[in-house]
Amino acid sequence: MKRATPVTTLFLDVGEVLLTNGWDHFARRRAAKHFELKWAEMEQRHGLVFETHEEGRMTFQEYLGWVVFYQKRPFTRSQFRDFTFTQSKPYPGMIELIANLKARYGLKIVVVSNESREVNAYRIRAFKLDTLVDAFISEHA
């Protein structure tokens, strides 16, 4: 009987694995409500540019310009950006599980992400993912 090769590396996503999704339709709806924006209009504008933004061909500031700040608003870009970033929440049980598996089995943890550069960087910093993860694979980071 052939012996199985031991697992040495665990590849994970951030969104819906270690953390909630960063900027999904639920978060955008909360932002629209919080900042009293027209949801349908915001969602339509988001749909026009999000792929370009997520592919790294548009900065977060440019994205916000297209989706929210194409007209004068009673709030700042910083206020809106901070709100969007705080939509990310950790899954403490999952983070603890991965940390325990890493320690117990000596696993390497690799995160693969397709999030935009700014969201990705914020989430790594805010949730100290670099203390758990050995390598990040991102098309933008």
Domain identity same for 117 and 66: no
User: Which CATH number characterizes residue 106's domain?
Assistant: 3.40.50.1000
φ, ψ dihedrals at 11, nearest 5°: -100, 130
Summarised one tens digit per residue, pLDDT across range 86-131 is 999 999 999 999 999 999 999 999 999 888 888 889 999 999 999 9
Whether residue 4 is contained in a domain is answered as: no
Whether residue 2 is contained in a domain is answered as: no
State yes or no: pLDDT of 32 exceeds 50. Answer: yes
Predicted local distance difference test score (pLDDT) of residue 1 = 76
Mean per-residue pLDDT of the chain: 93
Per-residue pLDDT, averaged over 1-14, amounts to 90
Domain identity same for 79 and 122: no
Whether residue 1 is contained in a domain is answered as: no
SS in 3 state form for the chain? CCCCCCCCEEEECCECCCECCCCCHHHHHHHHHHCCCCHHHHHHHHHHHHHHHHCCCCCHHHHHHHHCCCCCCCCCHHHHHHHHHCCCCECHHHHHHHHHHHHHHCCEEEEEECCCHHHHHHHHHHCCHHHCCCEEEECCC
Structural domain count, the chain: 2
Split at pLDDT 50, 70, 90, the class of 141 is: very low
User: Which CATH number characterizes residue 53's domain?
Assistant: 1.10.150.240
Predicted local distance difference test score (pLDDT) of residue 22 = 83
Split at pLDDT 50, 70, 90, the class of 140 is: low
Domain enclosing residue 47, as ranges? 25-85
Whether residue 105 is contained in a domain is answered as: yes
Higher confidence at residue 40 or residue 1? 40
Domain identity same for 102 and 76: no
